[in-house]
Structure 1
Amino acid sequence: MEFAFQSHFFYEFVTLLVVLDPTAAIPVFLGVTAGLSTRQSLQVAAYAVATAFLVLLFFIAAGQFLLNALGIPMPSFQLAGSIVLLLFGLKLVLGQITAEVEALPATATMAQRAVYPLAIPTIAGAGAMLTVVLLTDNNTRSLAEQAVTTFRTVVCLLIVFGVLVLSKPIYRLIGKPGIEVVSRVSGLILASIGVNGIIVAIRMSFR
C-alpha cells in the first residue's frame, strides 16, 4: 500500500512538472526580462508564477463544473487543449515565441511582461490546465486527494520559480546557442505531448 501511494505521488508530481516544463520558460523569461534589473526580473518571475497558480487553481476548483455546465465532454476539452499545446510547441521549435517576446514594447509593465507569453501559455499552458482538471476529477477523487494535488502543483510551481531565478546564471553558463537548443527541444517535447493528447482524445471520443 505504501509503495502504491509513493508511486502515485511520484506519477502525479512528475506529470505536473513535465506539463509545466520549467526549461521551456527559460528562453521566454530571458526575453521578457531583457534590460531589466535583477529585482525587476524577480518581480516578473513572481508575477508569472502567481498568475499561473491562480489560473490552475481556477481549473482545479471550477474547471470540471464549467465543462459540465457548457456540455463539453472531457475528450473534446482534451482535444482542444492538446491542439493548442501542439501549436505552442511548434512555435518554440520554429523560434516564433522569441520573435513575439522581442516585439514587446519597452514601456511594458512588470505584469504585462509576466502574463503573456510567460505565465500563459508557457507555464500555465493548455496541457497544464488539462492535467489539473484530469487529476482532480470529481468523479474519482475525494476533496482530500484534490487538496493534495493542489499542494503538488504549488511545489512544482515553486520549482519553476527557482528555475526562472537561475535563468540568467544558466544563460551565462550555456550561452545563447544553448538556450536556443533548450527552447527547441522543449518545444519538441511539448509538441509530442500535444500529439499524444490528440490521439488519446480521438480514441476516447470513438471508444
Structure 2
Amino acid sequence: MRRVFTSPLLAVVLIALPFVYLGVQYAGLPETVPVHFNAEGIADQFGAKSSLWLHTSILSTVAIGTYLLIRNLHKIDPKKTAKTSAATLNSLAIVILVFLTVINIMITYSAVNYPAKLSITTVVLPAVGLLLSFLGYQMRTIQPNYFIGLRLPWTLEDDENWAATHQLAARLWIPGGLIIAVTALTLPFFSAFIITMIITAAIVIIPTVFSYRFYRKKQG
C-alpha cells in the first residue's frame, strides 16, 4: 500500500484529475463563469469559461514543480539530505500534490455549481489545516535541508538545534492544524480565517524563538 501511495503513477493520476474533471464539465458550462470568489463564497469576478483551462494549467504546473522538487530533494540539496528517507520525501510530495489537486478541482467545481453553498472558500481552510497537521507529523523525521522545514540560521548550522526545534514544532503543528480544520468547518469564514492566521503565526513564531534561545544557550 505504501508503494502505491508513493508511486509516480499516482502523481500522474492526481495531476490529470483536474483536467479530466474540467473536460467532463466543460460542454455544460455557460460561456461566462465565476473565476474568483470573496470570503463569503460569492463570485466577484467573471470570465470566459475557456479561462478555466488557464487556471487549471497554472496550478497544475505549480503542483508538478512542487512534487518534483520534494521528491528529488536528496539529489539537489547541497546539504545532502540522505538522512531523510526517500519514503518520507515521497509522502510529503504526494500529500502536497493531493492538497493542490483538491484546490484545483474546487476552482472548477465552484464555477460549475455556483451559487451552491459548497465552494472553494468552504474547502481551502480545512485543507490548509489538515496539511499543516500532516507537515507537523513529518517534522519529527525531516533532517536538515535548505528546502523544507524551519530553515533558520540556527537550525541549519546545528543539527541538535534542528532536531529540538522540529520536535517542538511537531507538537504545535499537529494540534494547531487540526484546530484550524475544525474551526473552519464550524465557524463563518472570516472568523475561521482570523483564527487560522493567529494559530499559523503562533506555530511559526514559538519554534523560531525557541531555536534562537537554544542557540544562545549553547553559546554560553
Q: Which bin holds the TM-score, normalised by the shorter protein?
A: 0.3 to 0.5
Question: Whose helix fraction is larger, Structure 1's or Structure 2's?
Answer: 1
Structure-2-length-normalised TM-score:
0.35
Question: Whose strand fraction is larger, Structure 1's or Structure 2's?
Answer: 2
Structure-1-length-normalised TM-score:
0.37
